[in-house]
Chain A
Amino acid sequence: MKTRISERFNRLKRENRTAFIPYIMAGDPSLEKTRDVVLLFEECGADIVELGVPFSDPLADGPTIQRASERSLQNGTTLRKVIALVQDLRRTTQIPLVLMTYFNPVFKYGVESFITDAVRAGVDGVIIPDLPPDEAKEFIRFSGKTGLDTIFLLAPTSTEDRVKKVAHASSGFIYYVSITGITGSSLLLDGSMEILLSNIRKHTGKPIAVGFGVSTPEEASAVAGMADGVIVGSAIVKRLFETPDALKDFLIRLREAIKQHRTL
Chain B
Amino acid sequence: MYGGRFAPETLMPALHELEEAYLSSKKDKDFQRELVHLQKTYIGRPTPLYFAGRLTEHLGGARIYLKREDLAHTGAHKINNALGQVLLAKKMGKKRVIAETGAGQHGVATATAAALAGLECEIYMGTEDMERQALNVFRMLLLGSKVTEVPVGSRTLKDAINEALRDWTTNVRTTHYVLGTVFGPHPFPVMVRDFQSVIGREARKQILAAEGRLPDYLIACVGGGSNAMGLFYEFLGDAAKMIGVEAGGRGIESGEHAARFAGGSIGIFQGCKSYLLQDEDGNVLGTHSVSAGLDYASIGPEHPFLRDEGRVRYTYANDEEALAAFGLLSRMEGIIPALESAHAVAEVIKLAPTLSRETVIIVNLSGRGDKDVQQVAKIKGIEL
Contact = CB atoms under 8 A, between A and B. Distances in A.
A59 B158 CA distance: 10
Contact of A108 (B152, B153, B172, B278): B278
Interface stretch (A42-50, A87-95, A147-155, A230-238): A147-155
Contact of B9 (A56, A104, A155): A155
A80 B269 CA distance: 20
Interface in B147-180: 152-153, 158-159, 162, 165-166, 169-173
29 contacts: A56-B153, A57-B159, A58-B162, A59-B162, A59-B165, A59-B166, A59-B270, A66-B152, A79-B282, A80-B281, A104-B268, A104-B276, A104-B283, A104-B284, A109-B282, A130-B6, A131-B6, A132-B5, A134-B5, A152-B9, A155-B9, A155-B10, A156-B10, A157-B172, A177-B8, A180-B170, A181-B169, A181-B170, A185-B170
Q: Which 5 A-B pairs have the closest CB atoms?
A: A108-B282, A105-B282, A181-B170, A56-B283, A155-B10
A64 B343 CA distance: 39
A204 interface: no
Interface string B255-281: 000000000000111110000101011
Contacts of A154: 9
Interface of B: 4-14, 16, 152-153, 158-159, 162, 165-166, 169-173, 267-271, 276, 278, 280-284
Interface in A44-79: 55-60, 62, 66, 70, 73, 78-79
A60 B10 CA distance: 10
Interface in A131-160: 131-132, 134-135, 152-159
B269 A104 contact: yes
Main secondary structure of the interface of B (DSSP, over half): mixed
A57 B269 contact: yes
Contacts of B283: 55-56, 73, 104-105
A67 B5 CA distance: 26
A107 B9 contact: no
Interface size class of A (residues with CB under 8 A): 35 or more
A162 B9 contact: yes
A177 B10 contact: yes
A40 interface: no
Contact of A107 (B169, B171, B268): B268
Given A57-B158, A132-B12, A181-B166, 11 more contacts: A56-B283, A57-B270, A59-B169, A60-B166, A106-B282, A130-B7, A152-B9, A153-B9, A157-B11, A157-B14, A181-B10
Interface of A: 55-60, 62, 66, 70, 73, 78-80, 103-109, 129-132, 134-135, 152-159, 162, 166, 177, 180-182, 185
A70 B5 CA distance: 26
A103 B6 contact: yes
B281 A105 contact: yes
A162 B269 CA distance: 23
Contact of A57 (B12, B173, B284): B284
Contacts of B171: 180
A109 B278 CA distance: 12
Nearest to B285: A56
A28 B247 CA distance: 35
A162 B11 CA distance: 11
A234 B166 CA distance: 16
Contact of A180 (B5, B172, B281): B172
A109 B282 CA distance: 8
Contacts of A79: 281-282
